[in-house]
Structure 1
Amino acid sequence: MARIVISENVSLDGVMEDPTGEEGTRHGGWFLEFMNGDRDAWERLGLEQALAASALLLGRRSDAYFGSRWNSRQGEWAERLNSLPKYVVSSTLEDPVWVNSTVVGGNVVAEVSRLKEQLEGEIVCFASRRLVRTLLEHDLVDELRLIVYPVVLGAGERLFDQTAAKAALRRVESRTVGEGLAYLAYEVARG
């Protein structure tokens, strides 16, 4: 049975919206602005997570975003990400952008539950705000990995917005990434 791992870049106050500024939100673009020279360390962490993954899970917009950027990249990290099987959750998409992708339609909760049963290892979900919230709401997430940026944005879509239930988490790892980013990993504590 696979484990669903959420891997997100977030501000200190939990905002995950528009990290690159391409959505045009008021506080967009914080990802590069507050990385403060920690890009090499962040990339090493990204490669580490990609090497541990057995598949990726994405929403439609994240497939378009990542596929348009990673399909043509070279190097160990790009080769690993591009070679992984990807499952894109969408009710409208027919042809995913990122290589090695399969569209998962229908009932999201049922389909992702089926993937967890069929696959082994870690299914990592990047970005995909709406999908992540659905997975959290239906107790399908096994671990959260957060890269926290040293900025409080005060507004924007947050990873944890209003939820129906409390979720107990257990810290499994914490470390700095470069000089200014924090990496926090939490398992969902069930039972």
Structure 2
Amino acid sequence: MRDLVVTENITVDGVIDAAAGWFTVGNDAAADQSDILAELAAHTAACDAVLFGRVTFEEMRGYWPHQDDDETGITDDLNQIQKYVVSGSMTDPQWQNSTILRDLDGVRALKQQPGADIVCTGSIQLVHAMIAAGLVDEYRLFVYPVVLGRGARLFAEGVDLPKLRLTESKQFRSGVMLLRYRLA
């Protein structure tokens, strides 16, 4: 069985909504982010599939395939890796190596197939549903030294939260921390 890994960029106060502009990895040419990019490359090498909700998938599809000056390698990785989008309405993903899953049963079936990690990033509605359904095996949280006070959070109110154990912590030059948790 494959592990389903949720990877999120998150503020110190638990917000994962990047709309406020606090998330800049790969976009801030002035900052040396080579250590974070190397970590992301290692995570990419350990997975063979990415999973998105429809909104995040459409945002990614609208941006990454059209980048011709990306020096981070993210464009090539995303274009080549097998992508899955959970959507009840999409009929054509319009991005190479993409497959539509209709619901969480499709995610469960994907986890049963042989292969490496499946990584889900962004996709907060899907992540909330997968947490509630007990489908997440690991959380990789890139914690930014930012406090927003409001915005979408990783763990929704009213949901039974999983018991977690810390398996790794790593600090990057920018002050960002990687915290990896598995189910306890």
TM-score of the two chains, using structure 1 as the length reference: 0.86
Structure 1: tracts of 5 or more residues without a match: 22-27
CA drift of 1:152 comes to 0.9
Contact 2:54 2:85 survives alignment (8 Å) = yes
The equivalent position to 1:150 in structure 2, one of 142, 145, 150, is 145
User: How high is the sequence identity, in percent, across the aligned residues?
Assistant: 37
Distance verdict in 2 for CA 1:148–1:169, change over 3 Å = same
Q: CA deviation at 1:109?
A: 2.4
**How many Å separate the matches in 1 of 2:92 and 2:38?**
31
1:1-191 to structure 2, matched below 5 A, reads: 1-17=1-17, 19=18, 21=19, 28-32=20-24, 37-73=31-67, 76-105=73-102, 108-189=103-184
Stretches of structure 2 that go unaligned for 5 or more consecutive residues are none
Q: Encode CA deviations 1:102-142: one digit per residue, 9 max, x unaligned.
A: 1111xx22111111012421000010000001111111000
Q: 1:8 to 1:98 in 2, by over 3 A?
A: farther
Are the aligned partners of 2:33 and 2:174 in contact in 1 as well (CA < 8 Å)? no
Check conservation: 1:50, 1:81, Cα contact below 8 A: no
Q: CA deviation at 1:38?
A: 4.9
**Corresponding pairs, count:** 178
- 3-state SS of paired residue (1:124): strand
Please say if residues 66 and 98 of structure 1, whose CA atoms lie closer than 8 Å, have aligned partners that are also in contact: no
Q: 1:81 to 1:15 in 2, by over 3 A?
A: same
The alignment yields a C-alpha RMSD, in angstroms, of 1.9
Return 91-100 or 152-161, whichever deviates more: 91-100
Distance 1:77 1:32 in 2: 14
**Could you tell me how far apart the structure 2 residues matched to 1:3 and 1:171 are?**
16
